[in-house]
Structure 1
């Protein structure tokens, strides 16, 4: 178990692969921990350094009182990469992780060489929607939202499999402060202008059955960056790395090779 003490916050992470290889950093979605990428990791190229971490209030990373700002979450990623001596990384962010990646790429060009915005957007939802979810979590816990979240996360066929139970359990075991705090960070974020100023290789990944960040939102976001690419995974919801890991890994591997990161 690897823990980094970052400005008083204990952050859980995994640092795997070739320690001298080009770095790839993964940031998870709201309500998940670093196991989100378990199915994809064995399918990715050897010779690279793969770093995953639990964001604030999720998994085994400490939580702090809500609300959080996106700037705080970006700073957590920044401090972890500085702590590990990582520069010029491919940053792969899913959902809120994709927002963290956009913010980090704008703030620290030395840290992010290329960016994957997976099932995310420059802006997700509206503040009133997020406030309703924050209120529900604070009043009745994450359990009160769990069934609706599963419908947004996964396709109908995946929801019929026994594996759904594990992902539902992962969701409800996050801290209320972590879930509501990160919800507040999403609510307060609109990266339209900053992301439109990015000039680096960008790949957008979307799932046709995504009820949280539909393909049109992902495409609209990556289209802000000249020369960006877009990949659509059919039959997958908000977490295509879970539902379609082979296809997700192939798309990511192709991007790694195309950008000369391998």
Structure 2
């Protein structure tokens, strides 16, 4: 294989198009330049494996945006970055990053081009955020949908509201779907600690009050499910329904060890045990946005917040206390969840009379990140739509 042939292969892999089609104009106007582009660029340094293709596209975007005056090429490489697995949120974060090093004019221009490409590809713009003041800290609430029944999503320990992004996009039409950062997480990192599950439950009610919601359909995953159950015990009339995903109604012996490891070993040491518990091996191998996001959230977490959350979880005290809970309840298990197994989830359903129990095929613990379409499909059937 000569350099031009290798360049054609690399062009297709990087850009996601046939160079003779996408560069047909260049091939007609400047055939030697077309040949040089393929042989010397795409068949040369761009074909080397030392930098991954997604990394190369991110670097290319930063360079083109900083140079300016190359919007057509910038748009082409935005599409290429998406083709190579970069998420829309990562591209917009790059534009924000540019504002620091290349100035706001270049960053704003890059944001415009990125938005145009995302819109053309039918990808949603970022969810609107609002700051909410609770009793002793401030958090943010994201929203999808403008009308219909309110749905409130509670995230897992160590992550933030963004673990729900794809599910929110799917559930938004006909509903008002909200997700917020639980204390000690995301924008609410560094909130007062130690705290209890009762504190997190009052935070949930505080978010509802701030949003003007007398009732909501509450969905909690893992730690979020523990919070949802705690709030349902204390404030059952505030729940229009309850959905419990990959969670537990009793504390595990491992919780204290995880808290202590964060304090003693640091947050980098939490990445392997957390991600291998949360995702399947194929998802970890692909290293798509969902895994990159979760890894970064754990790495950026503060040990004090991590330990406080796990120790609050140790105080979970809800088993058997929802026997008289009369709002519709869905218990959703992941078939290959090794943490909150289908057997554990079946036990929760058995202790909440009248609840519906479902198992999502091939789904691990972090349901909304690895199988958002399956999660949204199950919730779509369960939740009302306006």
Which among 234, 252, 256 is matched to residue 131 of structure 1? 256
Q: CA deviation at 1:118?
A: 0.4
Q: Distance in 1 between matches of 2:306 and 2:315?
A: 14
Greater than 6 Å deviation, 4+ residue runs: none
What is the aligned partner in structure 1 of residue 347 from structure 2? Answer: 220
Deviations 1:122-141 (A, max 9, x none): 11412xx2221111111122
Distance 1:252 1:136 in 2: 35
| Larger mean Cα displacement after TM superposition, 209-218 or 188-197 | 188-197
Match of 1:157 among 282, 285, 295: 282
Distance 2:292 2:136 in 1: 34
Q: With CA pairs under 8 Å and 6+ residues apart, which has the higher RCO, 1 or 2?
A: 1
Instruction: Tell me, yes or no, if the aligned pair for 2:144 and 2:172 is still in contact at 8 Å.
Output: no
Structure with greater Cα Rg: 2
The structure with the largest strand share of the pair is 1
* 1:5-154 equivalences in 2 (<5 Å): 5-18=133-146, 20-44=147-171, 46-126=173-253, 129-154=254-279
Is contact 1:155–1:237 with CA below 8 Å preserved after alignment?
yes
Helix, strand or coil: the match of 1:40?
helix
Residues 96, 207 of structure 1: alpha-carbon distance in 2 compared, 3 angstrom cutoff: same
Let me know the Cα RMSD of the aligned residues: 1.5
Q: Quick one: distance in 1 between partners of 2:172 and 2:180?
A: 20
Query: SS in structure 2 opposite 1:130?
Result: helix
Task: Report which stretch shifted further, 166-175 or 115-124.
Answer: 166-175
Deviates more, 1:88-97 or 1:160-169: 160-169
More off after superposition, 93-102 vs 4-13: 4-13
Unaligned 5+ segments in structure 2 are: 1-128
**1:107 CA displacement:** 1.5
CA contact (8 A) 1:45 1:253 kept: no
* TM-score with structure 1 setting the length: 0.92
Aligned residues of 1:152 and 1:211 also touching (Cα < 8 A): yes
Question: Which TM-score applies when normalising by structure 2?
Answer: 0.64
Residue matched to 1:232 = 359
Bigger shift: 58-67 or 73-82?
58-67
- In the alignment, which residue of structure 1 is the partner of 2:50? none
Q: Which blocks of at least 5 consecutive residues in structure 1 are unaligned? A: none
The separation in 1 between residues aligned to 2:245 and 2:303, in whole angstroms, is 24
Structure richer in helix, relative to its length? 2
Partner deviation per Cα, 1:48-100 (whole Å, 9 max, x = no partner): 11111000010111423543210011011111111111122110000011111
User: 1:45 Cα deviation (Å)?
Assistant: 5.1
Query: What is aligned with 2:324?
Result: 197
Asked if 2 retains the 8 angstrom alpha-carbon contact of 1:70 and 1:100, the reply is yes
